[in-house]
Structure 1
Amino acid sequence: MWNLPNLLTLLRIILIPVFVVVFYIDAPWAAYAAAAVFGIAALTDWLDGYLARRWAQTSPLGAFLDPVADKLMVAVALVVLLQADPRLLLALPVMVIIGREITVSALREWMAEIGARATVAVSQLGKVKTTLQMISIALLTLRESMLGAWVYPLGLVLLYVAALLTLWSMVVYLSAAWPCLSGAQSTYKNDMS
């Protein structure tokens, strides 16, 4: 159960409060350290899945922990970034991304309950979206870095692209699940009467 892929996923969860603490340290190096912590966490997201498949070490615990770790990491980082820069320009993609994660998680849970989980399995589009989210969050974390004034705007643009892909992938998931959703609605009403 505690194989290397699962330990990497657990490390990602442990790095979430580390990221938050480092982000709020008032020191010139803090933005770089926070971006590095987030970058390490993002790399474990790729590495744990790769190793689990490569070494045939997939497990129910890993299947549960991996998406939880991903969603926690992204949601916490986005909330922290929004608190540091509370403008509508940042609030819109943050709202879309977190809202989509809640919606798709609920959809997957419901589809699993009716035995149709494969209908809303993770797609390549979701992986591209996740990659863009991770890069954008790392860039936004750098804030006013010595790398130049282009870093934050680039992170914001990438976050908007990720938000658009997020909406697109949510529509794809909802479309795939629609036959079950539309049929289950009348069944649910009949069960309640």
Structure 2
Amino acid sequence: MAARVVVLVSGSGTTLQALLDSAADPAYGAEIVAVGADRDGIEGLVRAEKAGVPTFVRRLADQPSREEWDAALAEVVAGYAPDLVVSAGFMKLLGRTFLDRFTNRVVNSHPALLPSFPGMHGPRDALEHGVKVTGCTLFFVDAGVDTGPIVDQRVVPVLGTDDVASLHERIKVAEREMLVDSIGRLAREGWTVTGRKVSIP
């Protein structure tokens, strides 16, 4: 039976599209059961609707507080009984209520080789530091900023001609491939998290 996956998006949904395309093959092992967003009218929701996947929106502005938004988001996601929740370009921080409900089931990717260069500007920080390689990291989200247990990483060389935009574009390609490969593996094979160590059988 396919693993149930809810994907959270905030923008164009290019990573979501890669997941939808992969999940169309039953051998992939994952079914996208819903796509959620924090705002209306985005391309990611259109992509989901074209694929026949249910969508929902929970806007922060519609809730009295961030905590109540977090609880409302957790409630609607829980209604789809996901095995995994994928943050695919979702631009809101998930709070403790959400993360406690889906412990070691929420994955996010970051455009650097964690624990190096966490935060909003991974490619810029890597370039400014003068590293020769950077990359991307897939991790289970915890209450910290880009601090959760690492699922997978991919290396991207830093070229002498790179600026932030060119480096980030190459990282995004690796990031999409990593996410699609890893979600499929997690869905098909399962996983355990012991301390900081993620094991996929």
**Shared fold per TM-score greater than 0.5:** no
TM range (shorter): under 0.3
- Identify the structure with bigger relative contact order (alpha carbons < 8 Å, sequence gap 6+): 1
TM-score, structure 2 as length reference: 0.26
Specify which structure has the higher proportion of helix. Answer: 1
TM-score, structure 1 as length reference: 0.26
